[in-house]
Amino acid sequence: MVPYSLCIAVLFCTLAWADECAWDRDVDFSENPPIIFDESFEIVRPVLEDNYRMVRVTAGSKLILDCPGTNITSLAVTTVEATCDGGRNLWIDDKTWEMKDLGCTAEAAATIRRNTGSCGSEDIGVIHIIGFEILGPESFYELIRVCFDPTSETTLYSQNVIKGRNIAAKDVDPNRPDFKTSSGFFTVSMSSVYSQNSQLNLMTELLGDSDLASQTINVSKEFYFAKGHLAPDADFVTVPEQDATYFYINAVPQWQAFNNGNWKVSAKETWQVCGEFVMLEQVNG
DNA sequence: CTACCGTCAC
DNA sequence: GTGACGGTAG
């Protein structure tokens, strides 16, 4: 016979959990969480609640778990549809799963949709979109819209949306990936071009004076051109979104003194503003 | 991956 | 001074 108190407990829990699924971002997820999309193909992101980074969806809602570029390890597929069971688990094809057991084999990776339109003055630029493949090539989640001038091989501007409700609950990961070239955009090696040595060599050649060149490119004074993010790493909530900013087409040569000074301060001001709004569309360039 | 530099807010 | 953040090199 089942004790009476246990019945009460079970009933209570059922009632309390019936309306939604809730997960703690720092407890209930695997090392490489999937990108979670809701039924309108918006990413489900954590919200800061009393120092807990909570991910919530309504009970019964259908989600898409996506590991673009890799697989959900337990299922050996990139994308799967799942239903919130009203507690901590997800229904997938008549079987329940814990969120923790639905991690990606590697970090979910952004890709680029190329040549989706023209942009810039007199349509000099070409639009490339950095984002996530969802169910294959027919569906794509846009993160960063890049206006790239193929003639000068320079990005004119990048456009991204800051999620004001989620930015306080963003992932903090000290590891930063290398910038990716993603072939077809540049005719030169971008990593070589940005190296401080090649900058010094170029300046020496241009000025014809090595003393003058070493005053112009002076690393200790932050007089060098850094890979200045246009859509910034820190504007994004999840690690895969943050790492999607590390494409060379999302960066322009920027004096490090400015990059690490005014620009950084300006980014923080932007968050202050967007804390007052749900989201803010930002254009940098 | 590790070690390093400079700026800023606290 | 320390940690977060913007970078660098090997």
Instruction: Quote the ipTM score.
Output: 0.83
**From the Cβ of A229, is strand C under 7 Å away?**
yes
DSSP-derived pairing of the beta strands A279-284 and A62-66: unpaired
* pLDDT at res. A105: 95
Distance A228 CA to C7 C1' (A): 9
Locate tokens 């993160």: which residue? A143
pLDDT-derived band at A18, boundaries 50, 70, 90: low
Phi, psi (5° rounding) for residue A257?
-60, -35
Q: What is the mean pLDDT of residues A272-284?
A: 63
Band of pLDDT at residue A57, cut at 50, 70 and 90: very high
Name residues 198-257 of chain A with a Cβ under 7 Å from nucleic strand B: 220, 222, 257
- Residue A5 predicted with pLDDT over 70: no
In angstroms, rounded to a whole number, what is the distance separating the alpha carbons of residues A187 and A66? 33
Q: What is the mean pLDDT of residues A201-225?
A: 90
CA A145 → C1' C8, Å?
28
Task: Say whether pLDDT at A153 is over 90.
Answer: yes
Per-residue pLDDT, A8? 41
Percent above pLDDT 70 for chain A: 89
CA distance A162 to A41: 17
Positions 128-187 in A, CB within 7 angstroms of strand C: 172, 176
Contacts of A46 (CB under 8 A, 6+ apart): A25, A53, A54, A55, A166, A169, A237
- CB A44, CB A109: distance < 8 Å: no
**A248 half-sphere exposure, CB direction, 13 A CA radius:** 17
Does A64 score more than 90 pLDDT? yes
- Give the mean pLDDT of A246-275: 83
Residue A30 is predicted with a pLDDT of: 94
> For chain A, what is the mean pLDDT?
88
At residue A65, the pLDDT reads 97
- What DSSP string runs through A227-275? EEESS-GGG-SSHHHHHTT-BGGGEEEEEHHHIIIIIHHHHHHHHHHHT
Q: Classify residue A153 as left (phi > 0), alpha (psi -120 to 50) or beta.
A: left
CA of A214 to C1' of B4 (A): 21
Distant-in-sequence, close-in-space partners of A142: CB < 8 Å, separation ≥ 6? A129, A130, A131
How confident is the model at residue A74, as a pLDDT? 97
pTM of the full structure: 0.89
Q: Which residues contact A251 (CB under 8 A, 6 or more apart)?
A: A155, A179, A227, A228, A229, A230
Positive or negative, the CA dihedral A207, A211, A213, A215 is negative
What is the pLDDT confidence band of residue A98, given thresholds at 50, 70 and 90?
Answer: very high
The nucleotide minimizing the C1' distance to residue A265's CA is B8
- Distance, Å, A260 CA → B6 C1': 8
Buried b or exposed e, range A216-240, using 16+ CB within 10 angstroms? bbeeeeebbbbbbbbbbbbbbbbbb
* Parallel/antiparallel/unpaired status of strands A89-92 and A95-98: antiparallel
Which residue places its CA closest to the C1' of nucleotide B4?
A: A220
Can you give the distance from the CA of residue A222 to the C1' of nucleotide B6 in angstroms? 7
Contact A84, A20 (CB under 8 A): yes
> Is A38 buried (19+), middle (13-18) or exposed (0-12) by CB count in 10 A?
middle
Rounded to the nearest 5 degrees, what angle is found at the Cα of A260, between the Cα atoms of A144 and A247? 30
- Å from A246 (CA) to C10 (C1')? 21
Instruction: Specify the 3-state DSSP secondary structure of A145.
Output: strand
